[in-house]
A = this chain, B = another copy of it.
């Protein structure tokens, strides 16, 4: 397929490279064009503006937040104005449920398809095509896009024909991860202050009840207090919990644990340098409050 790819951050670079490897014709665009160099070496063409990335069957966006997505979608040179009728915009970004619904309507009005396809996985998983993809959109459009998802991930879950459902699921998943971080942070503060070696503790719980990789990954970061450099930065985690709570408020679903997580992220943001830390750093706050 002929694909435009917009957004070459830690995640997008890996995804675009895997699309190339799978034999697709990929034109990349990034606000800061230097990031495109390694991909050009792998066979990508470069677009000098967004319009140029909208010439193919699909334009794939992988951006940090609602603002960044809005910036490439709207305007005279934006995706809405420049993508052909019948072509497809696939959004891999973690954006708000509300924006996803608005994009669905806007693309429909423009005669374009819109697929929401956020991913689970950190940069290493993006590089090794091991992402999990949650896709929602019109069935035929999603079916056509499956080869792309196969190229970048280990498994694709088609969740709904309503695009925003994929965003809601993605947000809820990040909430679940943040809950793991918080629970580990509290448990490790408790047993650590109680005299138990927290690395041994982590070995025990992750080789018995909590065998999911998230426990090992985040437990290890907390045990080592290794919150820099950030694999997934705290402000992004804060954004995701904010969007989760916004969706929950719109649906009238009280989520007290999400509220607690929100307060943790704000506490982190108030610390000097807090914005540079990995979101795992909220797992260090219980220990701090305990005077450790």
Interface residues of A, Cβ cutoff 8 Å to B: 97, 120, 132, 134, 155, 157, 159-160, 162, 165, 168-169, 172-173, 175-177, 179-180, 182-184, 186-187, 189-191, 193-196, 200-201, 204-205, 207-215, 242, 244, 247-249, 251-260, 262-264, 266-267, 269-272, 286, 289-291
- The reply to whether B251 and A193 contact each other, CB–CB distance below 8 Å, is yes
Q: How many copies does the complex hold?
A: 4
Closest to A259 in B: B259
Residues of B within 8 A of A208 (CB): 120, 132, 155, 157
Contact across chains for A210 and B176 when beta carbons are under 8 A apart = yes
Q: A160-B195, A270-B290, A270-B291 are in contact. Are A253 and B209 (CB under 8 A)?
A: no
- Chain A contact residues, majority secondary structure: helix
Q: How far is the CB of A139 from chain B (nearest CB, A)?
A: 15
The distance from the CB of A116 to the nearest CB of chain B, in whole angstroms, is 13
- Given contacts A120-B209, A210-B214, A211-B213, list 9 more A-B pairs with CB under 8 A: A165-B191, A176-B209, A176-B210, A183-B183, A189-B253, A249-B266, A253-B270, A254-B286, A270-B290
Known: A165-B196, A172-B191, A176-B183. A211 touches B209 (CB 8 A): no
Note all chain B residues with C-beta closer than 8 A to A190: 168, 172, 175, 244, 247-248, 251, 253, 255
Specify which of B212, B214, B254 is in contact with A266 (CB 8 Å cutoff): B254
| Cβ contacts under 8 Å, A289 to chain B | 253-254, 267, 270
8 smallest CB-CB distances across A and B, nearest first, come from: A179-B183, A270-B291, A259-B259, A252-B270, A212-B212, A253-B290, A132-B208, A254-B263
A260 neighbours in B (Cβ, 8 Å)? 256-257, 259-260
| Cα-based distance from A208 to B173 in the complex (angstroms) | 10
Q: Whole-angstrom distance between the alpha carbons of A145 and B257 in the complex? A: 41
Give Cα A195 to B193, complex, Å. Answer: 38
CB distance from A43 to the nearest CB of B (A): 30
Q: Which of A157, A184, A194, A242 has the most CB of B within 10 A?
A: A194
Pick the most buried of A168, A196, A244, A289: most chain B CB atoms within 10 A of its CB: A289
| Complex CA–CA separation, A37 to B253 (angstroms) | 41
- Within the complex, the shortest CB–CB distance from A27 to chain B, in Å, comes to 30
Bound CA span A257–B283, Å: 12
